[in-house]
């Protein structure tokens, strides 16, 4: 199998297990699952990157840096348990604070994989499924914030062209940044302070202006309300959010006559900036990185250690945002 990617180039993959996983229906479904929220009237909030391409990107990044085959498999399948509209599931099916942590997909991941055709493909290839599903076995695939990991690195790099399209981060080059990534025994780092500053700006600005912004949070809440009503009316089942992709869910609701007009409302018309007992508080997880990098003396340091302005910015960032809107 030949993998071609605009960021990582061309990789020849000889092990059949990877081609089998990618060809599986469970993995193919990710082609229709977008990384960000569905916002038809505000394209800026909808980064046009599928979880299919992101997952293959994570795999290619891990392979480029010599990760074990088991870790490469773990990276390839890490997003297969995402529902339609990705983190919308935290608002639909998670608890009251789920949008602050966005862990719904992670909570169901092991069970979902074990009940899918991927389990048989992986075990037939001679790999231990429980080992692959245990992130503690892998240092490069997944790390807690504010560290770097394959997942975090790839989805930031894939968002940069979208930011370019909207006149932002014009001095950031995703291919050049990908070449500044270095794998160490302690995880991913960047090769110098300049690369660390550029990646931190790209990652943090994209999260601040898109993923955790008020606009994206508002439209995610509107879509959650629409989907919740569709479930209550029997138009959709909860299970279908794990079986269908974004547009298949939209199409099913559209054919049933569901009203999508809230998706075209102005976020500012709903926002409340003062204390109001009738306000609804929307929470949204905020992601910020503090990249480790290799300093000129060979020591690995955090960006906050050498940049006072960044240190102040980073220390002031909360773990989640809260926005107040009208009830209806």
Residues 63-101 have pLDDT tens digits of 999 999 999 999 999 999 999 999 999 999 987 677 888
Contacts of 234 (CB under 8 A, 6+ apart): none
Of 327 and 158, which is predicted with more confidence? 158
Angle subtended at Cα 119 by Cα 245 and Cα 75, rounded to the nearest 5 degrees: 70
Q: How far apart are CA 303 and CA 290, in angstroms?
A: 6
Task: Assess whether pLDDT exceeds 70 at residue 264.
Answer: yes
At residue 184, φ and ψ (nearest 5 deg) are -125, 170
Dihedral (Cα; 159, 325, 102, 162), 10-degree rounding:
0
Provide the domain limits for residue 19.
Answer: 2-325
Let me know how long the chain is: 328
- The answer to whether 156 and 291 have CB atoms below 8 angstroms apart is no
Tokens of 164: 């370019």
Contacts of 292 (CB under 8 A, 6+ apart): 147, 148, 187, 189, 190, 196, 300, 301, 302, 303
CA-based R_g, the chain, Å? 20
Tokens of 114: 């074990």
Q: Which pLDDT score, from 0 to 100, does residue 20 have?
A: 98
Report the run of H or E that residue 91 belongs to, with start and end.
helix 88-92
CA dist 265 to 88, 98, 215, 268, 269, Å? 18, 25, 11, 9, 8
- The answer to whether 301 and 197 have CB atoms below 8 angstroms apart is no
User: Any idea which residue has 């009830």 for tokens?
Assistant: 327
Contacts of 153 (CB under 8 A, 6+ apart): 61, 178, 181, 188, 199
Q: What CATH number does the domain containing 122 carry?
A: 1.10.3210.10
pLDDT tens figures, 200-244 = 999 999 999 999 999 999 999 999 999 999 999 999 999 999 999
CB atoms inside a 10 Å sphere around CB 143: 18
* Terminal C-alpha separation, the chain: 52
Task: Assess whether pLDDT exceeds 70 at residue 103.
Answer: yes
Whole-structure pTM over 0.85, yes or no? yes
Q: Are strands 2-5 and 9-12 parallel, antiparallel or unpaired?
A: antiparallel
Q: Which pLDDT score, from 0 to 100, does residue 96 have?
A: 66
Total domains in the fold of the chain: 1
């Amino acid at each position: 199998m030949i993998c071609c990617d605009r960021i990582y180039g061309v990789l020849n993959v000889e092990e059949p297990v990877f081609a089998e996983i990618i060809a599986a229906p469970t993995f193919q479904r990710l082609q229709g699952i977008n990384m960000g929220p569905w916002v038809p009237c505000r394209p800026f909030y909808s980064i046009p990157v599928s979880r299919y391409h992101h997952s293959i990107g994570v795999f290619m990044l891990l392979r480029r840096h010599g990760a074990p085959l088991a870790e490469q498999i773990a990276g390839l399948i890490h997003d297969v348990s995402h529902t339609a509209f990705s983190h919308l599931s935290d608002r639909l099916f998670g608890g009251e604070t789920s949008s602050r942590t966005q862990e719904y997909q992670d909570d169901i991941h092991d069970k979902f994989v074990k009940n899918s055709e991927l389990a048989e493909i992986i075990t037939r290839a001679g790999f231990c499924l429980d080992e692959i599903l245990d992130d503690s076995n892998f240092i490069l695939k997944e790390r807690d914030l504010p560290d770097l990991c394959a997942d975090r690195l790839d989805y930031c790099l894939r968002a940069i062209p979208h930011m370019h399209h909207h006149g932002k981060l014009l001095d950031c080059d995703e291919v050049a940044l990908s070449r500044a990534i270095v794998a160490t025994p302690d995880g991913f780092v960047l090769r110098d302070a300049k690369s660390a500053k550029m990646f931190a700006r790209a990652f943090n600005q994209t999260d601040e202006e898109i993923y955790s912004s008020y606009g994206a949070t508002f439209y995610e809440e509107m879509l959650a309300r629409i989907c919740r009503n569709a479930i209550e009316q029997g138009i959709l089942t909860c299970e279908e959010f794990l079986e269908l992709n974004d547009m298949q869910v939209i199409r099913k609701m559209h054919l049933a006559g569901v009203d999508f007009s809230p998706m075209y409302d102005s976020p500012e018309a709903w926002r409340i900036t003062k204390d109001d007992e009738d306000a609804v508080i929307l929470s949204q997880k905020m992601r910020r990185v503090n990249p480790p990098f290799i300093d000129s003396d060979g020591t690995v340091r955090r960006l906050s250690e050498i940049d006072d302005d960044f240190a102040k910015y980073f220390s002031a960032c909360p773990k989640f945002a809260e926005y107040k809107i009208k009830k209806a």
